[in-house]
């Protein structure tokens, strides 16, 4: 029996890990957030739930205040911003959080619609 709260969304803590993740996984979704952002707090449990559902996608998150240079390199200027990658290339991004749009982009990315 599993105990504790396992997260299905990985924390990216530096630029090298970011590069490795987007290069090593076919589908990647990255959530750029800040601790003070209310929409970010709304997005977090949805990301966890969808990470359990879409197991073929690698889900990760970046605290944009801690990794400001990385967020800036990716032209992230509002939070939350969610980047979708396919084969190491950015497929799409969403600024702000709308769960229906988020699910639509995942489905489109995976060719489910």
Give the ranges where 1-113 is alpha helix by DSSP (H): 15-24, 38-53, 68-73, 99-109
Catalytically active residues, by annotation: 37, 40
**To 5 degrees, how large is the angle CA 63–CA 60–CA 111?**
135
CA–CA dist 5, 69 (Å, integer): 30
């Amino acid at each position: 029996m599993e105990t504790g709260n396992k997260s299905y969304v990985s924390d990216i803590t530096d630029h090298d890990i970011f590069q490795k993740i987007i290069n090593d996984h076919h589908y990647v979704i990255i959530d750029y957030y800040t601790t003070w952002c209310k929409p970010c707090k709304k997005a977090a449990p949805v990301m966890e739930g969808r990470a359990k559902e879409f197991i073929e996608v690698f889900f990760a998150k970046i605290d944009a205040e801690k990794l400001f240079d990385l967020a800036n390199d990716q032209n992230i200027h509002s939070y939350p911003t969610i980047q979708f990658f396919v084969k190491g290339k950015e497929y799409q991004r969403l600024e702000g959080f709308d769960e229906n749009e988020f699910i639509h982009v995942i489905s489109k990315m995976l060719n489910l619609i």
